[in-house]
A = this chain, B = another copy of it.
Amino acid sequence: MMSTVDPAWLPAFVFRSVGARRVRIVGDGLLVDTVRGEVAAAGGVLVSEGPVDLDLVCEGDVGEKFTVERSGTTTTVRATGGAGLLYGFHHVVRQGEAAFSGVLAPQRHAPRQPIRMLDHWDNIDVHPVMGQVERGYAGGSIFYDNGVVRTDLTRVGAYARLLGSIGINRVGLNNVNVHRTEARLLTDLLPDVARLADVFRPHGIRVHLSVSFAAPMTLGGLPTADPLDPAVQDWWARTTAEVYAAIPDFGGYIVKADSEGQPGPFAYDRNHADGANLLARALAPFGGIVFWRAFVYNHRQDWRDRSTDRARAAYDHFVPLDGTFDENVVLQVKFGPIDFQAREPVSPVLSAMPQTRLAVELQVTQEYTGQQKHVCYLVPQWSEVLNSCTVDGIVAVSNVGEDEFWTGHPLAQANLYGFGRLAWDERLTPEQVLDEWITLTFENAQTVRKALHELMDDSWHTYERYTAPLGIGFMVRTGTHYGPDIDGYEYSPWGTYHFADRDGVGVDRTRATGTGFTGQYPKPWCDIYESLDMCPDELLLFFHHVPYTHVLHSGITVIQHIYDSHFAGRDEVAHMTEIWATLEGDVPAATFDRVTGLLNEQLRCATEWRDQVNTYFWRKSGIPDVHGRRIH
């Protein structure tokens, strides 16, 4: 695989546009040193007195907030801790020349979320089919190679800097599905984890490990992993103490338990709180956190059984436990009730556990949204989610790998960038975030800005238009989750069905006649989703089974919407290829070529989606397109 690091979007490069500056840095500590190194590396002149252009003042040891102000010829960043200074410095870098002109009254900046985390689903070993990174679309792991943690962590250093620059402060180093080799990161491979932690630390990032609930047995040789067994508690306490002896600022654990075959407390008739608190108590003396994933459901469902509703599962499992989790447990809840689909309602769990710390989990890696072969700028989706819930942390699955562009699709870098920015402040608009990214990424941002906005701003909706309609989800190829297969999951055990027949389509999740899932929402949403009249069009089939002739709020029928959106979505992709073609010569040739090739694939795949979905529903409904377009 290619391992050249593309220079695109290494944020300090913005100094190229402002030239060398005189910079004074006050304070000390690792993160302040990091800032000092960044300035030096970018050609800034470090001075200790006299007139300065940039005054970076760190007045304490802890804190992520900072202020920035400008008077005379000096821009001043003030922070009460190294992390704040680092974030303030990167803020100035993002501002570019604008940070050094005019007058600015003191502006306070602080992250709106204390937890801003990226999880890696990286494995040490390479699976012959799944590859090394589960749901990874950018090549192998940047952490692991040849069955071990890499010796050369240069690239991890660049990644840490990149994450630090957008405010990420925690990273999960390994797949939540913890396999045999990866389990050992907790024990004999710990020195390697410490090396990784050393690389992330200067950028304000604490590392986490995904651990197996069965570790006391598989690693510790105990006969049980029962969370109430004193020997098990002791094993976790001792093991965790050893982790902190090696990595004093270790972040904590991530656990996928009793989910999709992973071990958990159910084997011992214990509940998720018993399980989570077991680990929380081992971590508490050291200030560590356990992220306990709420992604728990019956994945061996019988498609014939209409009483089981996967959408209900997280709520049914966890809400009754509200108030029983220790304070250093964070329940990590996928943003929607199913699984990272292009469109889902926000999970009802996020508004149902007031006495539990919650983190919302997003997916920067594009498992169901084009797998970094399709342009799909996801920040608008995340913006909707984050502005409709209140949580204590934001977590996402990373999309980087060995790929020379980091993310497979060069334009998918904008999702990684945007995730960090939204996690810092969810009130930033998607257009504003994309604009920042364009500015930081392309030398001639002014030339390419308009075209990139046109290509990317609405690309999530475009993707939605040519794939599964009206919130129904899935319809993807089984296993890979790429490309269309309308009935692919329809008779499967995974609990993801659309129930299309000759008369209609959709899942009845109402309280009146369906699975009752709508009842998991607070008012007014429990009524809005319940009501065929009020339910938003884009979620209609998630909540209701309706006839093809049902008229949407948009004024057209469901079947006509399916046809229209699929013709439109595919044509929008064709238009995207035209827009991109105009950028030849304005973006680096390698970037141009990569994106051109991927857009061809996106167009092929969108055409396939359009045709398969339209033909499928035409064959079932027998209702012709009112515009008489060709349906095969």
Residue A621 is within 8 A (CB to CB) of chain B in the complex: yes
Residue A500 is within 8 A (CB to CB) of chain B in the complex: yes
CB-CB nearest in chain B for A622: B502
Using a CB-CB cutoff of 8 Å, which residues 257-307 of chain A contact chain B? 303-304
Mask, A495-520, CB within 8 Å of B = 1, is 00000111100000000000000000
Binds B, one of A70-78, A143-151, A484-492, A590-598: A484-492
Which residues of B have CB within 8 Å of A627?
none
Using a CB-CB cutoff of 8 Å, which residues 498-557 of chain A contact chain B? 500-503
* A491: contacting residue among B500, B502, B503, B615, CB under 8 A: B615
* A129: contacting residue among B129, B303, B611, B616, CB under 8 A: B129
A489 to B367, CA, bound (A): 23
Q: Is the CB of B491 within 8 A of A612?
A: yes
Using a CB-CB cutoff of 8 Å, which residues 453-503 of chain A contact chain B? 484-487, 491, 500-503
CB-CB nearest in chain B for A303: B632
* A502: contacting residue among B129, B487, B621, B632, CB under 8 A: B621
Residue A19 is within 8 A (CB to CB) of chain B in the complex: no
Residue A620 is within 8 A (CB to CB) of chain B in the complex: yes
Q: Is the CB of A500 within 8 A of B619?
A: yes
Q: Is the CB of B501 within 8 A of A619?
A: yes
Residue A628 is within 8 A (CB to CB) of chain B in the complex: no
Residue A128 is within 8 A (CB to CB) of chain B in the complex: yes
Majority DSSP secondary structure for residues of A touching B: loop
CB-CB nearest in chain B for A492: B485
CB-CB nearest in chain B for A630: B304
Which residues of B have CB within 8 Å of A608?
491
Which residues of B have CB within 8 Å of A611?
304, 491
* A541: min CB distance to chain B, Å: 16
* A507: min CB distance to chain B, Å: 14
A615 to B303, CA, bound (A): 11
Q: Is the CB of A501 within 8 A of B612?
A: no
Using a CB-CB cutoff of 8 Å, which residues 583-632 of chain A contact chain B? 608, 611-612, 615-616, 618-622, 632
* A309: min CB distance to chain B, Å: 16
A487 to B619, CA, bound (A): 12
* A614: min CB distance to chain B, Å: 11
- Most B C-beta atoms less than 10 A away, residue of A304, A620, A621, A622: A304
* A487: contacting residue among B129, B486, B501, CB under 8 A: B486
* A27: min CB distance to chain B, Å: 54
Beyond A484-B491, A486-B487, A619-B620: 15 further Cβ-contacts under 8 Å? A129-B129, A303-B632, A304-B632, A485-B491, A486-B491, A487-B487, A491-B608, A491-B612, A491-B615, A501-B618, A502-B502, A502-B619, A502-B620, A502-B621, A502-B622
Of the A-B pairs whose beta carbons lie under 8 Å apart in the complex, a sample of 15, sorted by A's number, is A304-B615, A484-B491, A485-B487, A486-B487, A486-B491, A487-B487, A491-B612, A500-B619, A501-B619, A501-B620, A502-B619, A502-B621, A502-B622, A619-B620, A620-B620
